Amino acid sequence: MADYDVAIIGAGVVGCAVAREFSRYHLRAILLEANSDLCDEASKGNTATLATGNDTPAGSLERQLVVRGHQRYLAEAPSLGLPIRLVGAMTVAFDEAEARVVSEEVRASRAEGFSSVELLGADGIYARVPHLAPGAVAAAWAPEEGIIDGFSTAYAYALDAVVNGVDYRDSSPVTAAARRDGVWSLTTPGEEVRARLVINCAGLRADHVEALAGYRDLTVKPRRGQYIVYDKRARRLVDVILRPAPTPTTRGVYIAPSIFGNVLLGPTAEEVPDPDDRRVTPEGIAQLTAAARRMLPGLLDEPVAAMYAGMRPATERPEYRIIPRFADGWLTCAGIRSTGLSGALGIAEYVAGAVVPDIVKAARKQTIKPARVPSLADPNVARPWTDAARVAADPSYGEMVCHCERVSVGEIRDALSGPIPAHSLKALKRRTRVMMGRCQGFFCGARVESMLRTGKP
């Protein structure tokens, strides 16, 4: 049985960011994850874009935290080894009705402080995206929107937290919660965790965790989003984030370049009863291809590298559900949907500010240990196999395993060790991008599985 000041349930991007924020204080904190790896639920399937928040509801907590998250990401991500490219986002109108929608979006954005957002006419649109479908009449241009590495972001936050004193447990689902004498006792398969304060960041399972503590005032309504990943050859068609004009019910299907050179088409938005129903369906693919045909028809002639479905933890209400229950030593952080990746650092700051020092008294640390993840997509940071001195010192960095994504034996070995080692094939993929290229592991899959099983090349 271990005693903590704070226990955080759920190691998605928000839970990892919250854990990192608490690592800045002199207190004992633990991050509990039900799966064998972090970033394994909602955080593993998204568009990996960094939003400014201009298209979130004005005056909402979501906007406040996304704006702050965007600011902090730009300032803090480089020191963590995380790549950023501010490619800009374009919301495109193809008729006069849509033009009125995007014109109002620009007017409202500028009135609310997003001064870089501007309205483009046809000439400005096609100058930026020559391959866009004909007929565009107007667009809202947000140049400060960007693309990032969604997998490495959660890993960087968790690694930073662990290096600075937070305990981390994977494969530790909370199966029971009981409060006695002002302390929560959380039952996991490996241990009993005692904590004065529990923060529920369980995402798709947040309502189940809430129910363990006796709270039943929110219900997670899983929303599936299907994607098509196009081969890197498609990148010549687009290097900005493309969005259709929004409707009252949806922001629509995006076309977004990835930080790794691919092009993503998605997501759909389908309410499904089962949070594990991540099927890619014919109906979903038809919806995606129809969206591409309308915005960027040349994309449909490009080779497809992969298809997948993510899941967003929507609730019965559209806003963030950050609910303090401090009289009971509990804080709910739920309903963090599409903007969670962009808003995570803002959410973490907000949560920690609500807790310290009023609920948990703790002094801020004067010294923070640096943490950095391997940079997988920054052209200004050399990969190990390009560093002759490093290869000479350790030839494993010069022995290539995955030729599509250029991943070496040494990089896989490093991912299998360290403070948060990869315990599964999917974890290895997220840490290194091995098997995520054009051949999808056809060439290297057997060897990678052998390295995972034996720990040897």
Query: Any idea what the Cα angle at residue 253 is, between residues 261 and 53, rounded to 5°?
Result: 85
Q: What is the mean pLDDT of residues 270-286?
A: 96
Q: What is the mean pLDDT of residues 388-413?
A: 96
Tell me the three state secondary structure of residue 55: coil
Q: How many CA atoms lie within 13 A of 456 on its CB side?
A: 1
Type of residue numbered 183 = V
Say if CB 357 and CB 88 are below 8 A apart.
no
Say if CB 27 and CB 195 are below 8 A apart.
no
Among residues 270, 344, 273, the alpha carbon closest in space to that of 310 is found at 270
Q: What is the mean pLDDT of residues 20-24?
A: 98
Q: With b meaning 16 or more CB within 10 Å and e meaning fewer, what string describes 301-311?
A: ebeebbebbbb
pLDDT tens-digit series, residues 189-245: 999 999 999 999 999 999 999 999 999 999 999 999 999 999 999 999 999 999 999
Among residues 344, 288, 286, the alpha carbon closest in space to that of 62 is found at 344
pLDDT tens-digit series, residues 83-99: 999 999 999 999 999 99
The overall average pLDDT reported for the chain is: 96
- Per the DSSP assignment, residues forming a β-bridge with 243 are 91
The bridge status of strand 146-148 relative to strand 2-9 is unpaired
Read off the tokens for 354.
């609500």
What is the rounded CA–CA span in Å between residue 276 and residue 222?
Answer: 9
pLDDT tens-digit series, residues 422-446: 999 999 999 999 999 999 999 999 9
Q: What is the mean pLDDT of residues 25-33?
A: 98
What is the rounded CA–CA span in Å between residue 18 and residue 186?
Answer: 19
Read off the tokens for 155.
């890993």
456 falls in which pLDDT band (50, 70, 90)? confident
- For the chain, what percent of residues have pLDDT higher than 70? 100
Of 256-260, 272-276, 297-301, 375-379, least confident by mean pLDDT is: 375-379
Q: State pTM to two decimals.
A: 0.97
Q: Range(s) for CATH 3.50.50.60 in the chain?
A: 2-46+150-219+317-355
Q: Please state the CATH superfamily assignment of the domain spanning residues 2-46+150-219+317-355 in this structure.
A: FAD/NAD(P)-binding domain (3.50.50.60)
Taking the CA atoms of the chain, what radius of gyration do you get in angstroms? 22
In the chain, how many H helices and how many E strands?
12, 22
Does 248 have pLDDT greater than 90? Answer: no
Does 455 have pLDDT greater than 90? Answer: no
pLDDT at 1: 60
Among residues 240, 231, 242, the alpha carbon closest in space to that of 301 is found at 231
Expressed in angstroms, the distance from the first to the final Cα of the chain is: 38
- For the chain, what percent of residues have pLDDT higher than 90? 96
What is the rounded CA–CA span in Å between residue 350 and residue 18?
Answer: 9
- Domain 85-147+221-315's class? alpha beta
Provide the residue count of the chain: 457
Read off the tokens for 205.
């399972």
Say if CB 342 and CB 50 are below 8 A apart.
yes
Q: Is 221 left (phi over 0), alpha (psi -120 to 50) or beta?
A: beta
Q: How many CA atoms lie within 13 A of 401 on its CB side?
A: 30
H or E element that contains 286: helix 282-295
Q: What is the mean pLDDT of residues 47-60?
A: 96
pLDDT at 278: 95
Contact partners, residue 141, CB within 8 Å, separation at least 6: 88, 89, 90, 117, 118, 119, 120, 124, 128
Neighbours of 314 (CB within 10 A): 21
pLDDT at 83: 96
Q: CA distances (Å), 163 to each of 135, 158, 229, 258, 369, in order?
A: 53, 9, 34, 29, 7
Among residues 98, 101, 102, 110, the alpha carbon closest in space to that of 58 is found at 110
pLDDT at 250: 80
Q: Range(s) for CATH 3.30.9.10 in the chain?
A: 85-147+221-315
Which parts of 136-266 are beta strand (E)?
A: 138-142, 146-148, 167-169, 176-180, 183-187, 192-200, 220-230, 241-244, 254-257, 263-266
